[in-house]
Amino acid sequence: MSEENNKYPEFNPEPEENNQNDNPDLVISKVSPILAAFIGLIGGFFLYQIVGGLLTLIIFGMDFEKAPINSLRLITVAGQLLFILLPALIFAKYFYDNVDKIIRLRIPNLKEVTLFTLGIFILTPLLQSYLYVQNYIIEILAENFGIIKTLKELFDNLNALVEKTYSNLLQASNGFEFLFVVFVVAVVPAISEEVMFRGFIQRSFEQKLSPIIAGLLTAIFFSFYHFNPYGFIPLAILGFYFGIAAYYSKSLIIPIFLHFLNNFSAISIYHIAGSSELIKSDVKAGADELKFYLISILILGGLFTLLLVSIKKYYSSQQIK
């Protein structure tokens, strides 16, 4: 590959034209890339959530609490690999002429990794502060509107179920089991979900849509996949940041690492503080605390914006060289 072909892309809000002569980074698709993206979304959802869920019910029944925890972990790994990672690779092979251009695995340099990792360390407390404000507003609305109260009760029950299931997966009684938990909860999902979402789906959207729209659409569907009503917006923002990392770096290595780091931090927080979420989605704040979290959002939001500007300048400078 020539030096020109290795240049980093500018984050251009205009859609990329599917012209192989003008942009060698584009790929030839056998169907509409938008259709390919939605086939990936619908197919992945059906296989992982429906087929995987039915298989889990057949194997363990309705009472998951009595199921052997390591068996649940193994079926979780199998579901991720067979129903997310494998379909993404098959779709990429079937719908495009070059899998490498869809599932990009360029090795990034240390400066790239450092820049995007700083973003995670800023984004995590920023999103946590946002959740305090969001849930405070939901509490106020629930006190005044019956339909909001009903929805909140439904979301509370769903959140409790997700929290309980996730907490069971994170439990570890020794070092070997802890490493197994890291593999199940951090390593496998980071690889599988990033190959599907920031790899096949976002790259498909990028062929016809602007990078911003492609990244936003992918992030929204990524958040839907996690069935976390209170954490929907934070998960979408996190997914969009992963998408920015994938687009700028022209590699899935960085979003895979960021995804792993986020999940590994959640595991560590659970074993240190007993919380199974790095970004705790059911937090509540009083009126006296609200001002603090609003100020935190402004400060951290400013820092995050400056970091994004720095990332853009870095890749622009690399493109000039």
Give pLDDT tens digits for 37-52. Answer: 999 999 999 999 899 8
Three-class secondary structure of residue 105 per DSSP: strand
pLDDT at 33 over 70: yes
The dihedral formed by the CA atoms of 25, 27, 32 and 37, expressed in degrees to the nearest 10: -70
What pLDDT score was predicted for residue 226? 87
Q: Give the span between the Cα atoms of 186 and 265, in whole angstroms.
A: 9
* Cα atoms in the 13 Å half-sphere on the side-chain side of 91: 32
- The dihedrals phi and psi of 4, each to the nearest 5 degrees, come to -65, -35
**CB distance 18 to 207 below 8 Å:** yes
What separation in angstroms does the CA of 73 have from each of 77, 175, 184, 254?
6, 16, 6, 25
Lowest mean pLDDT among 106-115, 165-174, 220-229: 165-174
Q: What is the DSSP string of 141-198?
A: HHHH-HHHHHHHHHHHHHHHHHHHHHHHHH--SSHHHHHHHHIIIIIHHHHHHHIIII
Confidence band (pLDDT; 50, 70, 90) for 227? Answer: confident
Confidence of residue 191 (pLDDT cuts 50, 70, 90): very high
Question: Is the pLDDT assigned to residue 72 strictly greater than 70?
Answer: yes
pLDDT at 12: 46
| Average pLDDT of every residue of the chain | 86
> Do the beta carbons of residue 81 and residue 233 sit within 8 Å?
no
> How would you class 200 by CB atoms within 10 Å of its CB: exposed for 0-12, middle for 13-18, buried for 19 or more?
buried
| Mean pLDDT of the region 298-309 | 97
Say how far apart CA 238 and CA 244 lie, in whole Å: 10
Task: Give the CB-side neighbour count of residue 122, counting CA atoms within 13 A.
Answer: 19
* Window from 19-28, 86-95, 136-145, 302-311 with minimum mean pLDDT: 19-28
Backbone angle region of 104, left / alpha / beta, with phi > 0 → left and psi within -120 to 50 → alpha: beta
The separation between the first and the last C-alpha atoms of the chain, rounded to the nearest angstrom, is 16
SS3 state at 228? coil
74-125 tens-digit pLDDT = 999 999 999 999 999 999 999 998 888 899 889 999 999 999 999 999 999 9
pLDDT over 90 for what percent of the chain? 58
Classify 250 in phi/psi space as left (phi over 0), alpha (psi -120 to 50) or beta: left
Q: Does residue 20 carry a pLDDT above 80?
A: no
Confidence of residue 53 (pLDDT cuts 50, 70, 90): confident
Task: Identify the bridge partners of residue 251 per DSSP, sorted by sequence position.
Answer: 105
Length of the chain, please? 321
CA proximity to 40, closest of 98, 129, 103: 103
Report pLDDT for 170.
87
> Per-residue pLDDT tens for 243-297?
999 999 999 999 999 999 999 998 988 888 765 455 555 566 667 788 899 999 9
pLDDT of amino acid 318 = 84
